[in-house]
Structure 1
Amino acid sequence: MEQVGDRIKEIRISKGFSQEELATKSNVSVRTIQRIEKHENTPHGKTLQLICEALGVQAEDILEFNQSEDTRILSWMYFSIISGLALPLGNIIVPLIFWLTNKSNIKDADKIGKHLVYNQIIISIVVFSILIMAAFFKINHMYPEHNSYGYILFFLLASLNYIYAFYAGLKANKGRYLRYPFFR
């Protein structure tokens, strides 16, 4: 796997810049450019932004270059939603852990992880609101002839969430990433 310094050097050479020219255009010292290209230093924050502006590229182009493609990890990110069956809020916490530990070194993990965690929060709020309302109606003997509908809806929505997560995990293993259709 190539490093950030290799990518910066490759872009610098393709643009026809010497290290001195890049240093002048970016307002970064020549020594810093040399250290980055020799892998003695990794650019972060303002330094990375200045170098990218001087090279005319986005920071993501340089940083994603260093990311590997791993469909297995992304597949497990989807499958981790199913942990909500065994752990309270596991459908949020476990994908969150997968996302935070892999977002910088696995391609697309940041985008997919954000999407999954956001959707699991929304789905959990909706599903548990339905459960709480059904329990409230049951306790207060409201609508006794329709009382089981809330529980059926809760079970149906929760089941659909886990089935979709399983299906999306299978697709991710083949390199195709599905998004939840409700919340973008």
Structure 2
Amino acid sequence: MDLGDKIKAARAQKGLTQKELAQRAKLTERTIQRIENHEVEPSVYSLNKISEILEFDFLTEKLRIMKRRNQIIYTIMAVWTAALVFNLIFTDVNFADRWWEILIWGLTLSAVVTGQIYIPYRSKK
């Protein structure tokens, strides 16, 4: 269950409409709609306000989701890096033929690890 789904479920459990939650949290109704429909990633400010009203720590939940997403990304990167290294070591192709592959992979790996590549919030559309 994604963050938007959890907010929607907690709001429904409290018996609040999107409009009521928005008014209590001092946010717009459209902001609540966009968060619940996975159109935007909620800001820390919005999550804190929503958390206060719904009595659930959505900021910690967001961090947990982000940590899990990063674990998946790093696992994929590690597998692909191992595959590339294996391929370079155990195939008959020389370095001159593979320089572009190493360069692109190295730049991508360093960009992901340093946070230069941002993995956007997925939309359910």
Superposition TM-score, scaled by structure 2 size:
0.49
Say which one has the larger Rg.
1
Relative contact order, CA 8 A, sep 6+: which one is greater? 2
Superposition TM-score, scaled by structure 1 size:
0.35
